[in-house]
Amino acid sequence: MLKSALIFCLILVSSYAFSQESRDLKIFFDCDICDVTYIKQNLTNVEFVRDQNYAEVHLFFTRQTNGSGGSEYAIDFIGQKSFKDLQDQIKFSTDSDMTSDDIRIKILKYVKLGLVRYWIKKGSTEHISVNITKPLENETATDSISDPWNYWVFGTSVSGFYSGEESSKFSSFNVNVSSKRVTEANKFSFRAGFTENKSTFSYNGTDIISKRNSKYLSISDIISISDHWSAGAFANLGSSMYSNQEFYWEFKPAIEYNFFNYSESAKKQLALTYSNGIAYNNYIQQSVYAKENEYLWEHELKLGGSVNQKWGNINGEAAFEQYLHDTSLNSLTFYLGTNIRIVKGFNFNLGGSYSITRNQINLPAGDVSLEKLLLQQQQLRSGYNYFFNVGLSYSFGSIYNTIVNPRFNF
């Protein structure tokens, strides 16, 4: 009798587990820029899995900066297993003045909206409701898209940092202003800023002071020609103590060809860019080529691309710069970065850059003092520079990770 009762209880528990298994939609939430904890705490009727192969729906996020300074999000709802015939995408935008809470609420809203079809097919609609608000009578389509700023966005920032101890102190001050106007046909940008870093070291009653400052103003205007071609003009001027430039300016027209349609840029890009223009340098100290100031013609060829898919992402760039008055003055730079999900719980990431520099014409003549070397007040001659990182990550265990426990997170 006891044995029969135990078997009956096991059958009930198994039946309940099976009903829960069939009711909850298994999703793989693939978003590196989302508040995943918030989503898990507020999205019900789903089971979060940590391996995409166990998911019934793979939610893949991509994001691009929009003209307002916010972001355009695209969520691909990729049906798997019995949901292979359901493939959807939802796009929405955020504004630059939205808080992180506003953004995560909006993300959750569109995640729920996109999952409705999958819940319906799953048969788990008991706790689902849809509310559609009716626009006010005085609201029109024109009102909803009118823009009193005519797509212009302005910004400014001021920041300072101070630290110190008995024998040293450090201060940093930074101010920036910007304006931009982005439409499908044209992208205009204006930026200007000032930065000053100051370090003071006290040794045997003597103060050693290191100060570096820089100013810049940058203007660019880019025109959309077609789905693959763009043209632009770029102008910069400013000064930099570190680069031995009391004053500099440059103007470079450029053209770009994207091998993929620009509308696919969130997922894949491969663009070839060529620029050619004039530059002027007025040096703080006489340069290594015995120049107080000079005009220079230079050009640059760049090939850059990125792939952002559900298996991971790859982005890379190769760039070649050259002065036309002396073609031996050039630089060549390579960059590659990737993060790939190989198999269940196993990820591989790789990143690195290598540059061959033969164009440091702005370096001051003469030897660098030990003081300037240690305080990094002056750029040094270098035939190359590089960085490299590589890593593997692996996790295993339960495929379910719905539970959130925020204790001692801070």
CB 57 within 8 A of CB 78: yes
DSSP line for 167-183: TEEEEEEEEEEEEEEE-
d(C-alpha 256, C-alpha 232), whole Å = 8
Two tokens, residue 244: 């031995």
Q: What are phi and psi of 241, to 5 degrees?
A: -65, -40
Domain 18-122 in this protein, CATH class:
mainly beta
- pLDDT value at 273 more than 50: yes
d(C-alpha 49, C-alpha 72), whole Å = 26
In the structure, how many helices (H) and strands (E) does the chain have? Answer: 5, 17
Of residues 27, 78, 31, 24, the one with CA closest to residue 50: 27
CB 260 within 8 A of CB 243: no
When pLDDT is cut at 50, 70 and 90, the band that residue 15 belongs to is very low
Determine which of 102-111, 200-209, 286-295, 396-405 has the lowest per-residue pLDDT on average: 396-405
Q: Where in the chain is the domain with CATH 2.40.160?
A: 143-394
Two tokens, residue 77: 């709802």
Residue whose structure tokens are 């102008």 = 235
Q: Looking at the domain that runs over 143-394, which CATH code has it been given? A: 2.40.160
When pLDDT is cut at 50, 70 and 90, the band that residue 16 belongs to is very low
Determine which of 136-145, 202-211, 338-347 has the lowest per-residue pLDDT on average: 136-145
Of residues 277, 193, 299, the one with CA closest to residue 238: 193
Q: Where in the chain is the domain with CATH 2.60.40?
A: 18-122
Tell me the pLDDT tens digit for each residue of 24-80: 899 999 998 888 888 988 998 899 988 888 899 999 998 888 877 788 899 999 999
pLDDT at 144: 53
- pLDDT value at 211 more than 90: no
Mean pLDDT for all residues in the chain: 84
CB 211 within 8 A of CB 200: no
